[in-house]
Chain A
Amino acid sequence: MSALLQVRALSHRYGRRIGCEDVSFDLHPGELLCIVGESGSGKSTLLNTVAAQLAPTSGAVRYHQKNGDWLDLGALSEADRRRLAREEWGFVTQNPRDGLRLNVSAGANVAERLMALGQRDYGRLRDIARGWLERVEIDPARIDDAPTGFSGGMQQRLQIARTLVTQPRLVFMDEPTAGLDVSVQARILDLLRRLVNELGLAAIMVTHDLAVARLLAARTLVMQGGRVVESGLTDQILDDPQHPYTQLLVSSVLTT
């Protein structure tokens, strides 16, 4: 099976400081990859560089488009970047208030990406928005409510609905469950797992929570100081960590 995304020797530096350094991996269609590591280890920098939101200092990212062509993201024009972000990708931010449009209703938030793609039938947009609210376990009766009146967990679920409504092929998620309480986290993770399976989408998720990686991801990258120190099957990494840092990370998880 051919890869969806190829990352080769990717680095991003903030001046002389390292953001991420010499990272290479492949992502295949339908695969969910987790990037774990302590804060400041370069997880989000890597994610943003792969998603073409930061320009790489060196290295390359290639993306296999829907039409079969390979696209070099380093040489991507702003127009193409926006088209990809609109038509083929999704981005879920850690803070839902960054990813949502707070001054318009929940329904408009879900429907926005469809309207950007040229959907011009109000009745149909409403039906799709209601369907998606239901899918992410938000009462469809709240379609006309402002997201500011939603709880943190609901806002995050709304952001997920808004991102997935166009059925993207590749979704980037930056700690989507951080800052939520544990029971809400569990529901969102459960929801994500279900949706990822149903839609068959590929995803890269940044998290500092090893339990999240174990629950969702087939493969995991462990980062420290901007470099990938260990990568492989999630179960293998968590059950038999090789790198000292991974061993530390795994052993520091509280067990009950």
Chain B
Amino acid sequence: MSTPYNFAFLDENTKRMLRRALLKAVAIPGYQVPFGSREMPLPYGWGTGGIQVTAALLGPDDVLKVIDQGADDTTNAVNIRRFFGRVAGVATTERTADASVIQTRHRIPEIPLREDQLLVFQVPEPEPLRTLEPREAETRTMHALADYGLMHVKLYEDIAQYGHIATSYDYPVMVDGRYLTSPSPIPKFDNPKLDRSPALMLFGAGREKRLYAIPPYTRVESLAFDDHPFEIQRWEHHCALCGAGDSYLDEVVVDDRGTRMFVCSDTDYCSQRRDDATEEAA
């Protein structure tokens, strides 16, 4: 290759280390595996964990899609996609169905994923108990002993303060009935998509140096109380562009008089629906 980089930027030893950690993560669903996170050419918090996982997974024949809050055309998504296009020479796409590896920040695509697809999450804080328990040694012991009563304290507080479970993103889940896991800051709307998903889901936290995984068809439950069951967000609106009533909607302010519209957060889903509608009309 004429580029000064190894294929997919990271050296082969680093990729091997990452793959070994990923194998361990897949073997113990939801368990946070420590790994030697590398310096990447973007700042912590911009997806250094996800980008390292993607680098370890990519082969020359892969097709990469990168989304940021559901959108293919935001700065973060565009730059990571271009980065791998340059250092790995892989094909990139914006179509969910065409991608073999999808790196995502804070969303799961609306189109159901398949067994031959990999979903890579960027994770800022892999420890779901961190806001309640600042000591790492303590949270690790709690995971080891499955001592998770504390997590319900947070949900209790939500109901006590707001009358319902107000946690709307990064909603804690139990993976395979064993490990309490952060699904990364996806809206809780996406939590049901984690449950028994055909696609392998991998999570990378670069700053915190942790990897974890939800293998295909693994049971994933969102925590709740018996009398306050888990619920996803609902809207009174449909998407203003494609009319979808089943997707996660963003509220967009369109002028300085407070006019707003609701549009699909998944840009690929939205544009495909609009294309389909034009074809039907034609």
A and B together in one complex: yes
Interface residues in chain A, defined as those with a beta carbon under 8 Å from any beta carbon in chain B: 78-79, 82, 86, 101, 104-105, 107-108, 111-113, 115-118, 120-123, 125, 143-144
Given the complex, which residues of B lie within 8 Å of A144, measured CB to CB? 160-161
Q: Is the CB of A121 within 8 A of B149?
A: no
B228 in the interface (beta carbon within 8 A): yes
B83 in the interface (beta carbon within 8 A): no
How close is B131's CB to chain A, nearest CB, in angstroms? 9
- Sample of 14 more A-B contacts, CB < 8 Å, known A108-B157, A143-B160: A86-B147, A104-B154, A104-B156, A105-B157, A107-B160, A108-B160, A113-B149, A116-B149, A116-B150, A120-B225, A121-B226, A122-B159, A122-B226, A144-B161
How close is A104's CB to chain B, nearest CB, in angstroms? 5
Q: Which of B118-156 contact A (CB under 8 A)?
A: 141, 145, 147, 149-150, 152-154, 156
Given the complex, which residues of A lie within 8 Å of B157, measured CB to CB? 104-105, 108
Q: Which of B13-67 contact A (CB under 8 A)?
A: none
Q: List 11 A-B contacts (CB under 8 A).
A: A78-B141, A105-B160, A105-B161, A111-B153, A112-B149, A112-B150, A116-B147, A121-B225, A122-B227, A125-B156, A144-B160
Q: Is the CB of B153 within 8 A of A104?
A: yes
Q: Residue on B with the closest CB to A114?
A: B149
Interface residues in chain B, defined as those with a beta carbon under 8 Å from any beta carbon in chain A: 141, 145, 147, 149-150, 152-154, 156-157, 159-161, 224-228
Given the complex, which residues of A lie within 8 Å of B150, measured CB to CB? 112, 115-116
Q: How far is the CA of A108 from the CA of B152 in the complex (A)?
A: 9
Given the complex, which residues of A lie within 8 Å of B149, measured CB to CB? 86, 112-113, 115-118
Given the complex, which residues of B lie within 8 Å of A116, measured CB to CB? 147, 149-150
How close is A192's CB to chain B, nearest CB, in angstroms? 25
Q: How far is the CA of A78 from the CA of B147 in the complex (A)?
A: 12
Q: Is the CB of A115 within 8 A of B152?
A: yes
Closest 7 CB pairs between A and B?
A116-B149, A115-B152, A122-B225, A115-B149, A121-B226, A120-B226, A108-B156
How close is B225's CB to chain A, nearest CB, in angstroms? 4
Given the complex, which residues of A lie within 8 Å of B141, measured CB to CB? 78
How close is B5's CB to chain A, nearest CB, in angstroms? 46
Given the complex, which residues of B lie within 8 Å of A105, measured CB to CB? 157, 160-161
Q: Is the CB of A111 within 8 A of B226?
A: no
Given the complex, which residues of B lie within 8 Å of A115, measured CB to CB? 149-150, 152-153, 156
How close is B142's CB to chain A, nearest CB, in angstroms? 9
Q: Is the CB of B227 within 8 A of A121?
A: yes
Q: How far is the CA of A143 from the CA of B161 in the complex (A)?
A: 11
Given contacts A116-B150, A144-B161, contact A122 B156 (CB under 8 A): yes
Given the complex, which residues of B lie within 8 Å of A101, measured CB to CB? 153
Q: How far is the CA of A78 from the CA of B160 in the complex (A)?
A: 32
Q: Is the CB of B147 within 8 A of A111?
A: no
Q: Is the CB of B160 within 8 A of A82?
A: no
Q: Residue on B with the closest CB to A116?
A: B149
Q: How far is the CA of A111 from the CA of B161 in the complex (A)?
A: 15
Q: How far is the CA of A105 from the CA of B157 in the complex (A)?
A: 7
How close is A116's CB to chain B, nearest CB, in angstroms? 3
Q: How far is the CA of A144 from the CA of B161 in the complex (A)?
A: 7
Given the complex, which residues of A lie within 8 Å of B228, measured CB to CB? 122
Given the complex, which residues of B lie within 8 Å of A121, measured CB to CB? 225-227
How close is B178's CB to chain A, nearest CB, in angstroms? 15
Q: How far is the CA of A113 from the CA of B153 in the complex (A)?
A: 10
Question: Which residue of A104, A118, A123 has the most chain B CB atoms within 10 A of its CB atom?
Answer: A104
Question: Which residue of A78, A108, A113, A123 has the most chain B CB atoms within 10 A of its CB atom?
Answer: A108
Q: How far is the CA of A101 from the CA of B152 in the complex (A)?
A: 14
Given the complex, which residues of B lie within 8 Å of A108, measured CB to CB? 153, 156-157, 160
Q: How far is the CA of A25 from the CA of B16 in the complex (A)?
A: 59
Q: Is the CB of A112 within 8 A of B153?
A: yes
